[in-house]
Chains A and B, each alone.
Chain A
Amino acid sequence: MSGFFSAIAEAVSAFLGFIDPLCGPAGVFRWFAEGTLLSCGDAGWGDEIAIGFLVTASLAVATLPLGLLIGFFIALAKQSPERSLRLAADIYTTIFRGLPELLTLFIVYYGIQILVQNLLSALGYQQAIEINAFVAGMIALGVVFSAYCSEVLLSAFRAIPRGQYEAGYALGLHHGRTMGLIIVPQLVRIALPGLGNLWMALLKDTALVSVIGLSDILRQTGIAARVTKEAFLFYGIACGLFLVLAFLSSIVFSMIEARVQRSEVRR
């Protein structure tokens, strides 16, 4: 069984190595930076930066569904008729929109570590625990994302007239089907610009996880900068890579927008 999993892991890494835009067969660094500081392989820093690029992109992509899911339920809680639920959701957004992202990251990273350690020592295990920086980053960024996301979704919910719900019930759909078939498709259309902004913010916030030791773009370029003393070049490359990510996501977002708007009335 472990052979099976390692085969899958190998296939995935081979695939990622193939589509890698920096050091893959069609990579920028492989074709244009041979023999410089940025070449791939042991001589240059190209492959390390490529790993960092992959880590940043996968962290952002992994955080998105988590944040969207939590944000959706928080938005539902905020418009529920139940007062205690609204209050609980308001406390959540007030806290996580008010704290700096860096502080949230530290609180999650050290907090979970201390919590797990206390739990284990209560059960009788005595050893130092270090939680995964990727998971800690995912939780912290996801929580911040969901707090903002709930506000965007809430205003989108408010933009959908009551009649839409009533029409769904009149057709005999129960609450979940009304949501899935009638409300959510309109919700996506209204909330998409706001969600696009949040995605850009999330992409930029991923740079913070380099502080807790995850080898993302900024950390890898930082190591390269310290070793080679070419700080401006490498931090410039980090900026460039983030710009590339932002540019790519703006293209993807305009494609999604064109797709969800296709049933909209043309004016």
Chain B
Amino acid sequence: MSVVTTLLPPQAPPPAPARPYTLSRFVGSAVLGIWLALAVGIFLTVVDGWDPAKFSRYAPNYLSGLGVTLLLVALSITLGAVVSLPLAFARMSNNKLLSWPAYAYVYFFRGTPLLTQLFLVYYGLGSFSAELKAMGLWGFFRDAWNCALLTFTLNTAAYQAEILRGAIESVPRGQHEGAASLGLPGRVTFFKIILPQALIVALRPYGNEIILMIKGSAIVSIVTVFDLMGETRRAFSRTFDYQTYLWAALLYLMIVELMRNVWAWLEARLTRHLKR
């Protein structure tokens, strides 16, 4: 009978087989190389063309433009949410007199470009300046910022109404029936049972809508509102320096990525009771 007296010393694991050099690996490295070269190239041109005078002159403009963009988006999303509530209910109503106008409104604002709507409000309503003056509204519509805010509010209201409607209709029938069998009145059923479940469904589309609005708000620069894009175009037209666009791109990317990550965190936090 043999007794083990010595243990083998611990051995290193066998070497991992070398990764095969496939076509996809080659393409991946090549494309990554292109991205890296682009990043380095952009960095070098920025360093090469760095001008402290230009930076100190235009950096405050960029910051104020960023402020204008964020204010415009925040205001129009909030006001749009207020307008979208009655719109969504009108759209879901059984009364044709309510649901058809709401449908037409939503179809118009979702079927035409935001830029065309903005032109229609800003330039188009200028055709009625005499009537607007008579009503005392001309002071409002003369200003490009007000027109932009109005257009964006109306536009996002149409999108948000659809989001809300989809979310409310996605709540299963059994929830309504359960509430009815408990004898809850309609108002309580809606606010305590239907809406909380609908808002969780609507959370992700709302985030996408905010990101779309941040990106869409760049077009107000065309009607002479100096948001981030407007300040960028002004800086470019004065300096003919391509860097101005790159700075704007960096700022927009940062806002959108920040927004996306905040929203992902928010969603994970609010749906933690649904996790299995």
Residues of chain A touching chain B, judged by Cβ–Cβ distance below 8 Å, are: 77, 80-89, 91, 94-95, 97-103, 106-107, 110-111, 114, 200, 204-208, 210-211, 218, 222, 225, 229-233, 235-236, 238-239, 242-243, 246-247
Contacts and interface: CB of A to CB of B under 8 A. Distances in A.
A243 B216 contact: no
Given A88-B32, A94-B257, A103-B245, A243 B111 contact: yes
A266 to B, nearest CB: 24
Q: Is the interface of A mostly helix, strand, loop or mixed?
A: helix
B242 A114 contact: yes
A235 B245 contact: no
Given A99-B252, A235-B123, 13 more contacts: A77-B31, A84-B31, A98-B256, A100-B217, A102-B221, A107-B249, A222-B123, A231-B119, A232-B120, A233-B127, A243-B107, A243-B111, A243-B112
Contacts of B222: 211
Interface stretch (B21-29, B59-67, B178-186): B21-29
B70 to A, nearest CB: 14
B215 A99 contact: yes
B115 A218 contact: yes
B24 A218 contact: no
B120 A208 contact: no
A209 B50 CA distance: 31
B28 A83 contact: yes
A218 B223 CA distance: 14
Contacts, number: 138
A82 B22 contact: yes
Nearest to A211: B222
Interface string B181-214: 0000000000000000000000000000000001
B116 A232 contact: no
Contacts of B245: 103, 106-107, 110-111
B73 to A, nearest CB: 12
Contact of B116 (A89, A95, A233, A235): A235
Contacts of B232: 103
A207 B114 CA distance: 9
Given A82-B24, A102-B218, A218 B252 contact: no
A88 B28 contact: yes
Contacts of B125: 232
A94 B253 CA distance: 8
Interface in B94-149: 107-108, 110-117, 119-120, 123-128
Nearest to B29: A84
B229 interface: yes
B127 A232 contact: yes
A26 to B, nearest CB: 24
A204 B124 contact: no
A7 B111 CA distance: 38
A225 B35 CA distance: 44
30 contacts: A77-B28, A84-B29, A84-B32, A87-B28, A94-B253, A95-B253, A98-B252, A100-B217, A100-B252, A102-B229, A103-B229, A103-B248, A114-B242, A200-B110, A204-B113, A207-B115, A218-B113, A218-B116, A222-B123, A231-B126, A231-B127, A232-B124, A232-B128, A235-B116, A235-B124, A238-B120, A242-B113, A243-B112, A246-B111, A247-B111
